[in-house]
């Protein structure tokens, strides 16, 4: 039997990543549809709750001009959820995303602490199963600048010709959103309620240290197309986060510099400070390759002969980005993570394409998920 999972706040930063990752395991999980207006209609909320074996309550407000609105809204959302659980006689395993801000004297942390307390009391009274997650600072692709994290703000500013500014430097405990999602999936599979489960941060960095790395990514990658040296998993995750804020629609295709003389032409495909795997393909006219996406890999497609259409679509969205490339004017497109992509020969002759990816192909861990663009 599949585990039926509903996510309140599915449209948010963590919610999107969790929802999309659940989609990688279609034989194990069924995703229950959720809409924001469910909390405005108790009957709809009860129907949603009644369909779920697991409910992950992420819906919340963490910024507002009036701090009291943050507290009142977050507490009210929990109260409505509890009411729906009671009225639908739900025996779902409820997960609640609280925050390390609980221990700080701010309204957001207080609202989270109260919400966790209320759901814990519901579980005790009803005999339900409850897991209260205390989550550190989360970063990753597609977070909202000026809202989700300072990393999201810095990445947006650097890729949109704005100047980042450090308001307060200091050490920050961080967890990558993919690691957080993996932890949540582990707890779902374990099926044991754990109130006050502290999720440890995976890295601790100074704000200034992170900004220095991001500025180097702008200089090397955004401005020059060179892939920077990535010393560890944190830096890979930070780099992929940075890449997600680039205006992909207008940044690519990026033109190569062609050095031509009487002998012919020379084109430098990529400058690397990391390893990986380089390959090339020939593609017959009318044939399409790809239609898959990656969740961690960095990949570059460079057309060196023939005419190609490269297409990208962010998972969970409908907009398709089209890039037309021709070997007579060599160019490349880099593949953002969580974007399904393909390449089609739209010319009359053979298409020659050079590929680089930052890690060797491992059939036991390919990080390749098929989905038509």
CATH number at residue 361: 2.60.120.10
Please report the DSSP string for 66-94 in residue order: SHHHHHHHHHHHHHHHHHHHHHTT---EE
pLDDT reading at 109 higher than 80: yes
Q: Is the dihedral of CA 197, 203, 209, 215 positive or negative?
A: negative
The answer to whether residue 235 is domain-embedded is no
Domain CATH number, residue 67: 3.40.50.720
237 C-beta neighbours (distance < 10 Å), count: 24
pLDDT reading at 186 higher than 80: yes
The answer to whether residue 199 is domain-embedded is no
The answer to whether residue 86 is domain-embedded is yes
Residue 301: the pLDDT is 97
User: Which of 135, 167, 201 is the last residue in one of the domains?
Assistant: 135
> In sequence order, which residues have a C-beta less than 8 Å from that of residue 260 and are 6 or more positions away?
266
pLDDT reading at 67 higher than 90: no
Mean pLDDT over 207-236 rounds to 97
Q: Model confidence at 315, in pLDDT bands (50, 70, 90)? A: very high
Phi, psi of 20, deg, nearest 5 = -65, -35
What are the residues facing 32 on neighbouring strands?
Answer: 6
The answer to whether residue 190 is domain-embedded is no
pLDDT reading at 65 higher than 90: no
Residue 357: the pLDDT is 96
Chain mean pLDDT for the chain = 95
pLDDT tens for 119-148 read: 999 999 998 899 999 999 999 999 999 999
342 C-beta neighbours (distance < 10 Å), count: 18
User: Which of 74, 106, 135 is the last residue in one of the domains?
Assistant: 135
What are the residues facing 282 on neighbouring strands?
Answer: 352
Domain that holds residue 277: 248-370
pLDDT tens for 187-216 read: 999 988 899 899 999 999 999 999 999 999
CA angle in degrees (0–180, nearest 5) for 95-136-184: 35
- For residue 280, give the DSSP letter: E
Element (H, E) at 108: helix 107-126
Q: Model confidence at 105, in pLDDT bands (50, 70, 90)? A: confident
Contact 55, 94 (CB under 8 A): yes
State the Cα–Cα distance between residues 283 and 183, nearest whole angstrom: 41
The answer to whether residue 165 is domain-embedded is no
The answer to whether residue 364 is domain-embedded is yes
pLDDT tens for 324-359 read: 999 999 999 999 999 999 999 999 999 999 999 999
Residue 108: the pLDDT is 92
Domain count, the chain: 2
The answer to whether residue 342 is domain-embedded is yes
Give the rounded percent of residues in the chain with a pLDDT score beyond 90: 91
User: Which of 92, 115, 135 is the last residue in one of the domains?
Assistant: 135
| The two structure tokens encoding residue 121 | 């009391």
Mean pLDDT over 294-315 rounds to 97
The answer to whether residue 147 is domain-embedded is no
pLDDT reading at 63 higher than 90: no
State the Cα–Cα distance between residues 1 and 157, nearest whole angstrom: 46
Mean pLDDT over 270-277 rounds to 90
Closest CA to 152 of 144, 161, 163: 144
């Amino acid at each position: 039997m599949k585990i039926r999972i509903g996510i309140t706040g599915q449209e948010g930063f963590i919610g999107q990543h969790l929802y999309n990752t659940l989609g990688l395991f279609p034989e194990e999980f069924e995703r229950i549809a959720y809409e924001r207006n469910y909390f405005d209609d108790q009957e709809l909320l009860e129907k949603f709750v009644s369909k779920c074996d697991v409910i992950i309550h992420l819906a919340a407000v963490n910024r507002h001009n009036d701090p009291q609105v943050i507290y009142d809204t977050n507490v009210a959302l929990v109260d409505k959820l509890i009411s729906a659980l009671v009225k639908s006689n739900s025996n779902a395993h409820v997960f609640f995303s609280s925050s390390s801000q609980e221990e700080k004297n701010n309204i957001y942390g207080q609202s989270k602490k109260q919400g966790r307390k209320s759901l814990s009391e519901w579980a005790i009274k009803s005999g339900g199963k409850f897991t209260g997650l205390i989550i550190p600072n989360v970063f990753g692709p597609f977070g909202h600048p000026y809202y989700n994290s300072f990393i999201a703000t810095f990445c947006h500013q650097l890729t949109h010709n704005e100047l980042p500014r450090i308001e307060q430097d200091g050490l920050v405990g961080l967890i990558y959103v993919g690691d957080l999602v993996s932890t949540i999936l582990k707890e779902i599979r374990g099926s044991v309620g754990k109130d006050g489960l502290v999720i440890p941060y995976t890295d601790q960095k100074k704000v200034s240290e992170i900004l220095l790395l991001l500025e180097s990514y702008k200089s090397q990658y955004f401005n020059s197309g060179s892939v920077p040296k990535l010393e560890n998993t944190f830096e890979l995750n930070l780099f992929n986060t940075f890449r997600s804020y680039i205006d992909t629609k207008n940044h690519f295709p990026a033109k190569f510099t062609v050095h031509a003389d009487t002998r012919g032409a020379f084109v430098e495909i990529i400058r690397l400070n990391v390893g990986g795997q380089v390959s090339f393909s020939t593609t017959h006219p009318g044939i399409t390759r790809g239609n898959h996406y990656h969740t961690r890999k960095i990949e570059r497609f460079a057309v060196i002969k023939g005419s190609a259409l490269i297409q990208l679509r962010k998972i969970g969205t409908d907009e398709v980005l089209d890039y037309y490339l021709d070997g007579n004017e060599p160019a490349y497109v880099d593949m953002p993570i969580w974007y399904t992509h393909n390449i089609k020969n739209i010319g009359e002759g053979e298409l020659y394409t050079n590929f680089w990816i930052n890690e060797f192909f491992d059939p036991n861990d390919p990080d390749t998920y098929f989905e038509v663009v």
